[in-house]
A and B are shown apart, each in its own frame.
Chain A
Amino acid sequence: MPTYNGDEVNALVLDVGSMWTRAGFAGEESPYAYFPTSVGYMIDSDSESSKNNKKAPEQNPTIESNNENAEKNDSMDVDTETNKNEKSTNDSEKSDTRLKYYVGNSGISLFRPGMEVKNVLADGMVDDWDAYEKILDYALYNQLRINPEEHPIMVSEASWNSAEKREKLTELMFEKFKCPGFYVCKSAVLTAFGTGKSTALVVDSGADFSSAVPVYDGYVLQKGIVRQNLGGNVISDLIVDYLKEEQNYQITPLFEIKRKERVEVGKQPIFDRRDLGGITDSFRNYMIRQTVLEYKESVCQVLEYPYDENTASSRGNKSFEFPDGFSLVLGSRRFYEPEVMFQPNLFFNKDRTRIGKNLENMNTDKNDENINGNQNMNNNTNLERKKDAHEYMSIQELAYRAVSKCDVDLRPHLLHNVVLTGGNTLFPGFTERFSNELPKLCQSSRVRIHTPGSTIDRRYTAWLGGSILASLGTFHQMWISSEEYQEQGTSIVNKRCF
């Protein structure tokens, strides 16, 4: 075993992202569990009645399995398992907060009257500690099915996490889960490790936000972090707006549809709604978002060069059918919305409000303007001016600005090790476009973009880095032990994990 410097101590790795949570055993190459970070909850007025309610929708298995597919769950085994586990989840839940939580693919995607959906994280940091605890509960007891008292646990966190939240997390891990060892590591560092680097610029574009984080020798350079809340959800909103304004169509999520008819392309759908009571807005929005996610995964792409109507339309059409039977054949439009990542000024004003309705007319002028803008971006004063205006930045500018904040000796290294990660970078062509755009901003140094080979791997690069780190023999001395926690309290996390 010493040959590859690994030592199996049965550590667990938990990576809670803004959209997905990954959990698994250190030393393995992919996470064992992969489920949404959002949780469903409802007020637990009467435990008996809620149990009955829960069982009712399960009688309709078709809907459930469809929902599972929409979420791209890995295999049917996991699906059935989660169904089984769900019961135990509910059993193990305490009603101390008088809220009942539903976690995991089947927990959240299943319609329950009155169930609200919420995201556990806000801006990458834990927002709702009760829900976060439920997520950990679910991952450890229902997915991995282990006793946390026997396993050291490594948890990832956002690079900008606050000291208080880390201490609270430490307390949770030792007091509630009683794990023998605990470590919290910045997800950017883990991503760099997952790509086999200790120094890198980690450009992460997720659902909620995009960030560029310089990592030096395994440490995050805090002063170099640049982020903004422009991510996958913004693209989703743009798509919903497009459907509403130009196609006069509003998405109906799958769970509401009882029966649909075949209609021609572009014609309004004909379907019957299920007679359901107690659909909450948050749940419907969550399901609509899942449908848009499917739309994005099926048809959306990024052009290698700045958006141009003609090039985009020459790339061929793709069709997409929504759950209610409404279908569209999409040509150049497939390339339009993801362009927001590279040219946000096509879509947003300087104060981050949407540009007016007549998008198509402004298209060409705006495009030209932006090309000019790109050329001027070497000019530092130009960048400074933009920063003051709180304008959305393109992702390449985000990366460039993070590099510029670092010491000049470091910049060439960072630019040579740019790691692109996050679910929002999975559009076909995204990496190529980014590799074309970033060198334009820094002409004088060589730029190399590294991405995990397959798109599936890119969903859990950070988890993989954690898996590697936690299985290293030399990592043994880094764990915070429960003994140390007893002696020094929660503050130890800020002395040990940087």
Chain B
Amino acid sequence: MNSKDIKDILNIHTEQTVPRSSKKLKLAKKPAGLNRELVWKGFESSARNDHLQFHHWVKQDEPSSDYYYAKFNSTFKVPQLDPDEYQSHFTEYDWTFDETRYLFDLCKTFDLRFQVIHDRYSYSPPNSEQQQDIKPSLNQRSIEDLKARYYSIIKKMIEIPALRKKYNILGTDQNSGTQRKALALLSFDKDKETERKKLLEELLNRTTEEIEEERKLLVELERIQTQQKKLARERESIMLSIVPFEETTPSMVRADPNAPEPQQEKRSSKDSFSEKRNDGTKKQYSDSSESKNIINLNKNKSLVEINTQLVNIPSISKSTYIPVRDLKLGPGAFLRSEKITPVPKHRVEQVQLILDHLGVSCSISAWPRPFMPTAPICDRFEEIIQNIVPLLELKKVCDKTEAELCILESRKNMLVKEVEQKKHDL
């Protein structure tokens, strides 16, 4: 911008109209199409209802069109209520036509900002004698009351065909799909809203202690969850190391340790519960102490102590009763079939033979175990094994004794023969 521009803008016309030649050259260099001249120009806006004229700077050669910002003047259309229609369609207990119209006026003024509408809502009936009985509730209309009233009327305007045509709320789009969508959007459940706000209020009004407790519980939950993941991982790696790969079905390994177990098992293990009690092993001790903990947890509604033992609760609380055979339980979760009494290595083949003979199908890895290790099957299996193994032992003893007997008998025979020979010699 040079001095000439400034003079131009300020409408100062000096007599010195003939510029020096050097200046003229400079001006000629100005790129074509770039016009920086601004003028102070009056304008009106179509967004206004009157002819208020303000001035602003515009480019000189700009065509004078409507005010640039007028197009942003979007207003919300709130339908005007008709008294006759009100009588036939929109009447509602404790609302009058005047008050409804007042509400609709406010909706228009504040573009459906119900927070503000509720804030400024101060309707007083023109004839207090008629509405004496309604009056007390008037001042206490909640934001939900206002919303419910407004949306129920708009909804009716869409639902009732005659009104739909008149108010044309949906605009040109009249198909049933849009109508359904609009109705869904307009359905305002006052009770649900009130309930929601009540709950939200409670949430906001929590005391410091409650918030602190909630925070602690969340930390605890997170700890338990990570612990569970860790346990599952550990179990997986142990299973992989003891069970040959092809026999490890993934569903078995990854099974959620907390998954509810069949009711059956509980019953069967209940039977053996009294037996277990007498055992007095370490496992039982920890079990009872922890189940006590569970009871404590349920009773105690206030602060939960941070307690490492809690971590083990889920796995125990679900399988409340530990079957009798689980004498050598280690920490954490386990496979039921793992706990079947192992068969001594040198007996495995024989046991297998007998099982085959009995028609019991099982897998042979380190030791025989059922394919489907449910609690009853395991118990039966255990029972069979418990019978087979002593049977084999007995058979072995028997064989040995028989062999000895044979030897002794042959020796006896030999001795008898010797004695008879000596008698004969004598």
- Please report A residues at the B interface, Cβ cutoff 8 Å: 2, 5, 7-10, 152, 180-181, 216-217, 219, 221-224, 375, 378, 380, 406-412, 442-445, 472-474, 476-477, 479, 481, 483-484, 498
Nearest CB of chain A from residue B145's CB, rounded to whole Å: 13
Contact indicator A222/B47 (Cβ below 8 Å): no
Q: Which residues of A contact B45 (CB under 8 A)?
A: 476-477
Q: Check if B32 is an interface residue, CB within 8 A of chain A.
A: no
Contact indicator A477/B47 (Cβ below 8 Å): yes
Contact indicator B54/A9 (Cβ below 8 Å): yes
Most chain B C-beta atoms within 10 Å of own C-beta, residue among A216, A378, A444, A476: A476
Q: Which residues of A contact B197 (CB under 8 A)?
A: 407-409
Known A378-B205, A380-B205, A474-B69: A9·B118 in contact at CB below 8 Å: no
Within 8 A of A (CB), among B81-122: 109-110, 113, 115-116, 118-120
Per-residue A-contact encoding for B183-225, CB less than 8 Å = 1, 0 else: 0000000000000010011011111100100000000000000
Nearest CB of chain A from residue B66's CB, rounded to whole Å: 12
Nearest CB of chain B from residue A174's CB, rounded to whole Å: 13
Contact indicator B200/A409 (Cβ below 8 Å): yes
Q: Which residues of B contact A443 (CB under 8 A)?
A: 206-208, 211
Q: CA A477 – CA B50 in complex, angstroms?
A: 10
Contact indicator B52/A180 (Cβ below 8 Å): yes
Q: Which residues of B contact A479 (CB under 8 A)?
A: 52, 54
Nearest CB of chain B from residue A434's CB, rounded to whole Å: 19
Q: Check if B253 is an interface residue, CB within 8 A of chain A.
A: no
Q: CA A375 – CA B211 in complex, angstroms?
A: 14
Contact indicator B73/A444 (Cβ below 8 Å): no
Q: CA A181 – CA B47 in complex, angstroms?
A: 15
Q: CA A476 – CA B110 in complex, angstroms?
A: 18
Most chain A C-beta atoms within 10 Å of own C-beta, residue among B72, B204, B206: B204
Across the two chains, which residue of chain B brings its CB closest to A480?
Answer: B52
Q: Check if B143 is an interface residue, CB within 8 A of chain A.
A: yes
For B, the interface residue count at a CB cutoff of 8 angstroms equals 36
Contact indicator A444/B205 (Cβ below 8 Å): yes
Nearest CB of chain B from residue A101's CB, rounded to whole Å: 32
Q: Which residues of A contact B48 (CB under 8 A)?
A: 476-477, 481
Q: Which residues of A contact B200 (CB under 8 A)?
A: 408-409
Partner of B68, one of A2, A10, A219, A442: A2
Q: Which residues of A contact B118 (CB under 8 A)?
A: 407
Q: Check if B51 is an interface residue, CB within 8 A of chain A.
A: yes
Nearest CB of chain A from residue B200's CB, rounded to whole Å: 5
Nearest CB of chain B from residue A102's CB, rounded to whole Å: 34
Contact indicator A445/B54 (Cβ below 8 Å): no
Contact indicator B54/A442 (Cβ below 8 Å): no
Contact indicator A8/B57 (Cβ below 8 Å): yes
Q: Which residues of B contact A222 (CB under 8 A)?
A: 119-120
Partner of A10, one of B47, B55, B70, B119: B55
Contact indicator A408/B201 (Cβ below 8 Å): yes
Q: List 25 A-B contacts (CB under 8 A).
A: A7-B68, A7-B69, A10-B55, A152-B54, A216-B119, A219-B113, A221-B116, A223-B119, A224-B119, A408-B197, A408-B201, A409-B197, A411-B204, A444-B204, A444-B206, A476-B47, A476-B54, A476-B67, A476-B69, A477-B45, A477-B73, A479-B52, A479-B54, A481-B48, A498-B116
Contact indicator B54/A221 (Cβ below 8 Å): no
Extra 10 A-B pairs, beta carbons < 8 Å, given A219-B119, A474-B72? A180-B53, A216-B113, A407-B197, A408-B201, A411-B204, A443-B207, A473-B67, A474-B73, A476-B69, A477-B73
Q: CA A221 – CA B114 in complex, angstroms?
A: 11
Most chain B C-beta atoms within 10 Å of own C-beta, residue among A152, A181, A407, A479: A407
Across the two chains, which residue of chain A brings its CB closest to B206?
Answer: A444
- Please report B residues at the A interface, Cβ cutoff 8 Å: 45, 47-48, 50-57, 67-70, 72-73, 109-110, 113, 115-116, 118-120, 143, 197, 200-201, 203-208, 211
Q: CA A253 – CA B51 in complex, angstroms?
A: 55
Contact indicator B205/A481 (Cβ below 8 Å): no
Which 9 pairs between the two chains have the least Cβ-Cβ distance?
Answer: A473-B69, A481-B52, A477-B47, A9-B54, A219-B116, A221-B119, A483-B50, A474-B69, A408-B201
Known A9-B54, A221-B119, A407-B115: A375·B208 in contact at CB below 8 Å: yes
Q: CA A476 – CA B56 in complex, angstroms?
A: 11
Across the two chains, which residue of chain A brings its CB closest to B199?
Answer: A408
Q: CA A8 – CA B68 in complex, angstroms?
A: 13
Q: Which residues of B contact A224 (CB under 8 A)?
A: 119
Nearest CB of chain B from residue A302's CB, rounded to whole Å: 24
Across the two chains, which residue of chain B brings its CB closest to A181?
Answer: B52
Q: Which residues of A contact B51 (CB under 8 A)?
A: 483
Nearest CB of chain B from residue A43's CB, rounded to whole Å: 42
Across the two chains, which residue of chain B brings its CB closest to A472?
Answer: B69
Q: Which residues of A contact B47 (CB under 8 A)?
A: 476-477
Q: CA A25 – CA B109 in complex, angstroms?
A: 29
Partner of A9, one of B55, B72, B113, B115: B55
Nearest CB of chain B from residue A485's CB, rounded to whole Å: 10
Q: CA A101 – CA B110 in complex, angstroms?
A: 42
Q: CA A410 – CA B68 in complex, angstroms?
A: 34
Contact indicator A181/B69 (Cβ below 8 Å): no
Nearest CB of chain A from residue B284's CB, rounded to whole Å: 45
Q: CA A83 – CA B92 in complex, angstroms?
A: 69
Across the two chains, which residue of chain A brings its CB closest to B59?
Answer: A1
Known A7-B69, A474-B73: A408·B204 in contact at CB below 8 Å: yes
Nearest CB of chain A from residue B149's CB, rounded to whole Å: 17
Q: CA A407 – CA B119 in complex, angstroms?
A: 10
Known A217-B116, A221-B119, A407-B115: A483·B52 in contact at CB below 8 Å: yes
Q: Which residues of B contact A180 (CB under 8 A)?
A: 52-54
Q: Which residues of A contact B109 (CB under 8 A)?
A: 498
Q: Which residues of B contact A411 (CB under 8 A)?
A: 204
Nearest CB of chain B from residue A439's CB, rounded to whole Å: 11
Q: CA A407 – CA B70 in complex, angstroms?
A: 34
Q: CA A221 – CA B119 in complex, angstroms?
A: 6
Q: Which residues of A contact B206 (CB under 8 A)?
A: 443-444
Q: CA A217 – CA B116 in complex, angstroms?
A: 9
Contact indicator A407/B143 (Cβ below 8 Å): yes
